[in-house]
Structure 1
Amino acid sequence: MQDHKVNSAKRKKSGIPALLALIFVIMLLAGCGNNSAADSGAGNGAAQTNAAEATPSPSPEVEPAVAEAAEATSYPLVVQDELGHEVTLNTAPTKVFAPYMEDSLVVLGVKPVGQWSNKGQGQQYLQDQLAGVPLVDFTSGLPSPEVVMAMQPDLIVLHNSYYAENGVYEQYSKIAPTYVFQQAAGDLDSSLTILGDLLGKQEEAAKGLADYRKKVEEAKTTLAPHIQDKKALIIRFNSRGMFLMGGVYGGFVLAEELGITKSDLVAAENSVELSLEVLPQIDADYIFLANDTANTGESFYKELTESALWKSIPAVQAGKVYDVDDRYWLGGGIVAYSNVIDDVLEILAP
């Protein structure tokens, strides 16, 4: 455009008095500059960002993220999963089996062909959105290839690498293309974005994440005066015992999303078995208790909360112990994490 302006000025200069030529060049430069801004705004991300800043929007975080995801997935699609397997999708999947990732599927507006369940119960906080989706029992481990095959999935997604062990990946991948995450709940931005890419639901993924990020930032602002120099700890109870939860599920929300420091006991661990002898080492200012929904951990819960050592913990004496709903505190996804944030706000900043 700059070359065009110079050449135009030369063509116009002959036969025109110098002063008029100068004025004309100045006007031409100004007009061409405006046209350049308009042209680049149609296809340049920076120009679009500037335009968005100049025009106030009710949801400034949402629109750029959604715009970036506007280009739809083209099939056939060939990708590598997080364990290095090559995954090929010839067409957009319509029959998805992604056990324990139903939360993310709900955000994307996708109903799976089957949903994770334990002892006949799916993730209760999602059942309104998963009405009619058959339960697939994980009580004794992953379902057999025959059970999975009967659902006729055209994409299988395993939410952590543990699910792929002991020959499971090899068996499932013969049924349908199978994508494996290392730990989907540990990086929600990445896992939801990848799932959106696989399913051709990039716009839904981007909007869901943008809305969630806005909620996180607003919660951090509200909680800031209540969590400064404070530590938090989640204790989980089930039929196998008591466990300190680290940086996954509700622990991920507390530490990584809301910025509440983890207890030193789980600083480098996702889960640590808890015994009464460890109680004097608990350094948390806030303690959250997540008992198994079916109360299979009730005996351990009573053993802990009725012990003299428990009652001597400073957080217990200060009344900073809170029972929470394990159905989403131990869930992984935007819906679960949003519910955890709501609980924390209600508890710490009522």
Structure 2
Amino acid sequence: MHADSLRAKEDCSVPETLPSGSLPTGFRPDSARRRPTPSGRRTAVRGSLALSAAVLTVSVLSGCGSDTETAGAASANTYSVETELGTFEAPTDYERVVVTSTALLDSSVAAGVTPVGSPMSFAGLPDYVGLDDDSVTRIGDSDEEIDLESVAALEPDLILMNASSGAGLDDTLFDEYSDIAPTVPVVVGEQDPKGLAAQVGAALDRTAEMDEAAKAYESRAADLKARLADDPEAAKPVSQVRLRPDEVRVMMEETNAGVAMTDAGLTFAPPAEGASVGDGGYVETSLELLPGSLGDHIFVYSTEEGVVDEVADSPIWQSIPAVEAGNVHTVDFEAWMRGQGYLALNTVLDDIAAAYGKQLD
């Protein structure tokens, strides 16, 4: 809980409303420095802050009789979440969760929690999460375009906020989110879907449920690996290719889908001679260099509509050995590239099984 909030409990002589910076909703670590908040971002949530401050005044004054009792009650109604950015408190009785990244949507659903709000592209929710678009409210078109007013209107009990590895709270919208509801940061973008799932499980206090999701995935991966072990086609090297209008990225093992491909026992074709794998787990190249650098099976996708079909008609693409052999498998970029959780990993397993003509439970 905020150090400011605790000091307020110690001094009960003046029954005044606490400033919004002292609201306990965010449960910000004492070691984290608050940064000035742009006035434009405050406007969206100002109404809810006034109500929260009024409620807090009552809560603080009613707790003045015994600091020990108040502290005990708080700990009974919250749980602690240790993150890369500090330790945060979240309410045990949450019912309405908002996630600020589609990467967090996957793992929330896998843990048995359907968020009331999430970013959503023009195409709607990713098919692989298994939710209808109208079951979740759009709070922005992407992770970088969150509408704070939409978040506040949903009256969440808990917010899971995406954060980049190495970032501090001052580099995020933690202050804005925590003025709306208790907020827990989750590090995304590390090409570590299993690690992200574990973070979300802890943030939702559903570690046991996430462990079950992990066990179910590992069992399916082991089953597929066993089924592919006797298939000579599956022993041949593979490639994962992301097509873009101006470049090609050959995605390697250390990517979200690469994790599932490796778990299924597939072997990646090595990067082209002289090429190196970047921090994102991919090799940046061009269409002209693909014919001699890809595996015998290619899993291909693009985030841009029509690009795969356009490239597929080019003479260079048609000259790639895997293309000539009919071993190109077009897959969903949402699960293969953006997906960061067990729902996406299971979808990748399904696509691999289909590519090799296997049945997977």
Same fold (TM over 0.5): yes
8 A Cα contact 2:125 2:133, kept in partner: no
Q: Does the C-alpha gap of structure 1 residues 240 and 93 become closer, same or farther in structure 2, counting only changes over 3 Å?
A: farther
CA distance in 2, matches of 1:160, 1:224: 39
Deviation at 1:127, TM superposition (A): 4.3
Aligned to 1:54: none
Match of residue 176, structure 2, among 171, 175, 188: 171
Matched AA of 2:81: V
CA distance in 2, matches of 1:157, 1:239: 33
**What CA deviation, in whole Å up to 9, does each residue of 1:220-261 have, x standing for no partner?**
111123466533222234677643333333232113x22323
1:154 is the counterpart of 2:162: no
Aligned to 1:328: 335
Bigger share in helix? 1
8 A Cα contact 1:117 1:135, kept in partner: yes
Identity %: 26
Aligned to 2:230: 225
Listed as ranges, the matches of 1:302-317 within 5 Å are 302-317=309-324
**What CA deviation, in whole Å up to 9, does each residue of 1:62-101 have, x standing for no partner?**
xxxxxxxxxxx9753233322x233122434322112312
Deviation at 1:323, TM superposition (A): 1.4
1:276 is the counterpart of 2:287: yes
8 A Cα contact 1:235 1:244, kept in partner: yes
CA distance in 2, matches of 1:129, 1:79: 30
CA distance in 1, matches of 2:349, 2:81: 33
Aligned to 1:260: 266
Deviation at 1:120, TM superposition (A): 4.8
8 A Cα contact 2:236 2:267, kept in partner: yes
Aligned to 2:219: 214
Aligned to 2:83: 81
Matched AA of 1:325: D
Aligned CA RMSD, in angstroms, stands at: 3.2
CA distance in 1, matches of 2:77, 2:299: 45
Matched AA of 2:148: P
Q: Does the C-alpha gap of structure 1 residues 75 and 140 become closer, same or farther in structure 2, counting only changes over 3 Å?
A: closer
8 A Cα contact 2:191 2:256, kept in partner: yes
CA distance in 2, matches of 1:272, 1:149: 41
Aligned to 1:286: 297
1:345 is the counterpart of 2:353: yes
Listed as ranges, the matches of 1:42-121 within 5 Å are 75-82=77-84, 84-98=85-99, 99-100=101-102, 101-121=104-124
Q: Does the C-alpha gap of structure 1 residues 239 and 315 become closer, same or farther in structure 2, counting only changes over 3 Å?
A: closer
CA distance in 1, matches of 2:128, 2:95: 24
Question: What TM-score do you get using the length of structure 1 for normalisation?
Answer: 0.66
Aligned to 1:319: 326
CA distance in 1, matches of 2:309, 2:236: 26
Question: What TM-score do you get using the length of structure 2 for normalisation?
Answer: 0.64
Structure number with greater Rg is 1
Q: Does the C-alpha gap of structure 1 residues 306 and 166 become closer, same or farther in structure 2, counting only changes over 3 Å?
A: farther
